[in-house]
Amino acid sequence: MVTTPDSAVGARAKYEPVIGLEVHVQLLTESKIFCSCSTRFGAPPNTNVCPVCLGMPGSLPVLNKKAVEYAVLAAMALNCRVNETSIFARKNYFYPDLPKGYQISQYDKPVAEHGSIEIKIDGAKKKIGITRLHMEEDAGKSLHEGFPEAAEKTAIDLNRTGVPLIEIVSEPDIASPEEAYEYLTLLKEIILYTGVSDCNMEEGSLRCDANISVRPRGQKEFGTKTEIKNVNSFRFIREALEYEIDRQIDVIESGGRITQETRLYNANEGKTYSMRSKEQAHDYRYFPEPDLLPLVVDEKWKSEIAKQLPELPEARRARMVIDYGITEYDATVLTYSKELADQFESAAKAAKNPKRVANLVQGELMGRLKAKNLEIGQSPISMQGVAASADLVESGAISGKMLKDLYDLSFERGKDFSAVYEEEGRPVQSSDTSALEEIIDELVAANPKQVEQYRAGKKTVIGFFVGQVMKASKGQANPQVVNQLLSKKLEG
Ligand SMILES: [Zn+2]
């Protein structure tokens, strides 16, 4: 680990970071935002293109209704106000992978504004504002590798041109790299729940740019910001911000000034590098897109879209804590993905005792997963398996000890509970009373003192006998039957 001199630590404490995040999310529509070309990822280069997305003269854009619905759905999930009228605007810049010479985006009248989400930081809640959510089209891709003449040439793939995006811009409410990480994690979770994007970072369905500045603690005005672009994991964004905060403080402390610029993060070195000085907003010469009407999302349409809004993760966790009597931590684990939460809930509802399903997940499944370093999605025992095992315990067919053994076998064999239960010949716990009575007779004879105590009124002693019987039967005995037989014998 690199040690930091005390003087440097002192300097760091004098400053506070101000972070704002811009997140681009690709919407999961089948066709592009202004034409009917496919949005499928991984198609051969330049096969999903047409005159509209190639920007041929005379071609006209037609807005994709589904893209609007997805954008509005995401906006609602992020507590944004959806504007009844929003305007598409041309953002003019030249780039080789932008054939029209402008990108259709939204500028001063975005589809939604004034949202927020609540992150948890050190156990406390913190609201992070969302300034705006707007719709835009994606640009193409410049390829620098993966084709024969890559050493001398750059190739252009325009399949991505015109793929629908939403850009979600946060308020500069984020005060540390950790908060940025939490914000992004929660944002992604919410978007995934709405189903409007797969948020796949490797395929570029979710991209994040970070604006970062530092200022002396207590100062109102912001310092000069830099923008970190194209970081492809949340962990790298956290690292890039950590590096950039230190770099900016060092520059200021040594009497220098921060230049407003775009920087790239090199994950191998853990450093950011200057890429280009930042264009000012007016350099884009935004003006209303003349080929598209204003977008109107009226109350009727809005309420139709609102009906598609699923229960969101935070609300779901709160409800699950109440419905199934589980802890907040367990609810967090069980809502890791919507799919898992759906599975858990259908298993819990299908089982005779939902609380038992929750208990088994917490008590028997999580521990085994942790020991094997597995995510819940990799569990050999499915939620249906947990529900089936819960019912077997509930009906008294198997004991808790037998369930534990069967779970161990499931993990050893990498098979689901029901398969292992079949392989083991559908074992049932012993309620063969003659064998049990024999064990109990021996125990009663061998422990006269405890029998005396029981008969003198210390009824809790029965627990000692139950434990002994269970041990002697290697966990195969039905505890209920054992209890009945014991009470009868001990009453004398
Ligand atoms: Zn097209």
Distance 54 CA to ligand 1 centre (A): 7
Confidence check: pLDDT of 270 > 90: no
Average pLDDT over residues 240-249: 94
**Helices 479-491 & 433-446 angle (0-180, nearest 10):** 50
Q: What integer best gives the mean pLDDT of the chain?
A: 89
Res. 305 pLDDT band, cuts 50 70 90: very high
Exposure string (b/e) for 345-361, b if CB count within 10 Å is 16 or more? Answer: bebbeebeebebbbbbb
Res. 443 pLDDT band, cuts 50 70 90: confident
Distance 188 CA to ligand 1 centre (A): 28
Average pLDDT over residues 29-52: 94
Please tell me the distance from the alpha carbon of residue 331 to that of residue 341, in angstroms, as a whole number: 9
Average pLDDT over residues 127-142: 96
Q: Which pLDDT value is given to residue 474?
A: 73
Res. 328 pLDDT band, cuts 50 70 90: confident
Res. 167 pLDDT band, cuts 50 70 90: very high
Protein residues placing their CB within 5 Å of the ion ligand 1: 35, 37, 50, 52-53
Distance 157 CA to ligand 1 centre (A): 13
Distance 38 CA to ligand 1 centre (A): 8
Average pLDDT over residues 311-316: 89
Q: Which pLDDT value is given to residue 22?
A: 96
Distance 104 CA to ligand 1 centre (A): 14
Q: Which pLDDT value is given to residue 8?
A: 58
Average pLDDT over residues 98-121: 95
Confidence check: pLDDT of 262 > 80: yes
Confidence check: pLDDT of 125 > 80: yes
Distance 96 CA to ligand 1 centre (A): 17
Q: Which pLDDT value is given to residue 4?
A: 52
Res. 430 pLDDT band, cuts 50 70 90: low
Q: Which pLDDT value is given to residue 297?
A: 97
Distance 70 CA to ligand 1 centre (A): 19
Q: Which pLDDT value is given to residue 1?
A: 45
Please tell me the distance from the alpha carbon of residue 454 to that of residue 491, in angstroms, as a whole number: 8
Distance 181 CA to ligand 1 centre (A): 35
Q: Which pLDDT value is given to residue 5?
A: 54
Confidence check: pLDDT of 351 > 50: yes
Res. 144 pLDDT band, cuts 50 70 90: confident
Q: Which pLDDT value is given to residue 74?
A: 97
Confidence check: pLDDT of 10 > 80: no
Confidence check: pLDDT of 416 > 90: yes
pLDDT, tens digit, 9 for 90 and up, residues 468-492: 888 887 777 777 778 888 888 887 6
Nearest CA among 114, 95, 246 for reference residue 177? 246
Distance 205 CA to ligand 1 centre (A): 19
Distance 47 CA to ligand 1 centre (A): 10
The least confident of 25-34, 154-163, 182-191, 315-324 is 315-324
Confidence check: pLDDT of 13 > 90: no
Distance 127 CA to ligand 1 centre (A): 39
Average pLDDT over residues 367-376: 86
pTM: 0.76
The least confident of 99-103, 339-343, 448-452, 477-481 is 477-481
Residue that the structure tokens 């978007």 belong to: 191
Q: Which pLDDT value is given to residue 208?
A: 94
Distance 50 CA to ligand 1 centre (A): 4
Most confident of 224-238, 290-304, 456-470: 290-304
Q: Which pLDDT value is given to residue 31?
A: 97
Average pLDDT over residues 81-106: 94
Q: Which pLDDT value is given to residue 18?
A: 96
Distance 73 CA to ligand 1 centre (A): 24
